[in-house]
Amino acid sequence: MGTSQYTTNGDSFARFGGDMSSRGTSSYDGSVSTQGARVRLLEDGTLAQASPGGFGGKDFGAYPTSERHKRRSVGMVIAFIVVIVLIGVGVVGVVVARSMRTPEAQVQRYLDLLSSGQASAASKMVDPGIPSEQRAFLTDEVLGATPNRLIVEKIVDMNEGSSSSLHQVRATMSVRGERFSQTFRVVKRAPTLGFFDNWEIRDPLITRIYVTGRNVEGMTVGNVQATAPLTIDGSVRWALLAFYPGTYNLEPELSSEYVTADSVEVVAKGNDGRPEGSEVMDVVVTTEYTQDIREAALAAITEKTHSCVTPPGNLDRDCPVPLQSRNLAVLEVQFEPVSVETVDYEPNKFQSDLSFLIRPNTSGGSLRSVPAVAIASLRLDESASLILDADGKPTFDVSIEKTVSTGC
């Protein structure tokens, strides 16, 4: 049988198979050898290699079992703390996210877009609810160019704390120091991930304007290249336009150089300022004809006056009836037209006073005066624009009628 040797040192002992380098030795330095490997039992209970060799000559070093446990414990504590922190951050994040998803917060976001000139984003968030042809001025360029944009002063949820899916949110705002308020209907929609509320604003903050004007073809805002055409209705054109809150200078685009008009300032404040019971504000563009068109009207009347005393032009139905005769010994102009005035309530017509002298070509026929009034009506096409001649001048239909007959 093989021999087993034990060597003790105090209360510690080690057992190894194989030959021992020292037999029966009572002194022990804490190390033993086995198959060429020398290891030592340290006082802290760990094993350490005392000399190279054994097990392929690899040095396994010390095995600090207590330090390993310590590091493992510290790692577990750190991991636990990280998990707790992450949970806390997640809870706070959820609370913050939910606080940003309220009816008030939704209205605030919408008004912030308008305040910063982001018309396109505002229209995407809340549908203006009007046809595309009325949205010509609901653009970033137009809203961004207004010198007086929206200022939000206060937002209040009138149904705060209510579980209702419909809330009324009232906002107090101002434009150029003019304060106004509007109530928004905000409707609850399906939540995100089951607990993040979603709210939708039903009422856009726009001002709708009904613009009318004679000889007006369109409206332009300041230097922005945005024009809204007007619809033709006889000699009057009209258009429905919409604006986000702000001040706007509307420049009329006129049908001819013979027409003039001043710009119109519009202060858009949502529904504020419109007539009671109406959905729009009325804006009338007042146009006037220039002096050039009056001179053109006078020239047309003068031409017609001389035509009426030049046979056979006097037979024209647009000449005074007393002049429509082939048997006149005297047919001439007594008083030439010298000026024109516009006809009441008919801005496309001009009138002038004049008179003729006639005497029948009969025995005993007497010379008499024929007072008359001439009316020159501007020729307009179906779009209510002036019809110009080859020289670019306005054209007229002229008629002369007898007014009062007196003897001479």
- Is residue 138 located within the same domain as residue 234? no
- Is residue 238 located within the same domain as residue 174? no
**Residue 70 falls inside a structural domain:** no
Q: What is the mean pLDDT of the chain?
A: 80
- Is residue 195 located within the same domain as residue 161? yes
Q: Is the pLDDT of residue 118 over 70?
A: yes
- Is residue 336 located within the same domain as residue 295? yes
Q: In CATH, what number is assigned to the domain containing residue 333?
A: 3.10.450
The residue among 250, 271, 288 that closes a domain is 288
The band of 207, judged by pLDDT with boundaries at 50, 70 and 90, is very high
Q: Is the pLDDT of residue 286 over 80?
A: yes
What's residue 22's pLDDT?
43
- Is residue 275 located within the same domain as residue 296? no
The residue among 257, 288, 319 that closes a domain is 288
List the domain range (segments joined by +) for residue 139.
103-201
**Residue 253 falls inside a structural domain:** yes
- Is residue 225 located within the same domain as residue 190? no
**Residue 22 falls inside a structural domain:** yes
What's residue 310's pLDDT?
97
**Of the given ranges (139-153, 250-264, 299-313, 364-378), which has the lowest mean pLDDT?**
250-264
**Residue 91 falls inside a structural domain:** no
Split into its structural domains, the chain has a count of 4
Is 360 buried (19+), middle (13-18) or exposed (0-12) by CB count in 10 A?
middle
What's residue 133's pLDDT?
87
**Residue 71 falls inside a structural domain:** no
- Is residue 275 located within the same domain as residue 337? no
**Of the given ranges (33-47, 96-110, 245-259), which has the lowest mean pLDDT?**
33-47
**Residue 79 falls inside a structural domain:** no
The band of 17, judged by pLDDT with boundaries at 50, 70 and 90, is very low
Q: Greater confidence, 288 or 368?
A: 368
**Of the given ranges (57-61, 213-217, 251-255), which has the lowest mean pLDDT?**
57-61
**Residue 330 falls inside a structural domain:** yes
Q: In CATH, what number is assigned to the domain containing residue 227?
A: 2.60.40
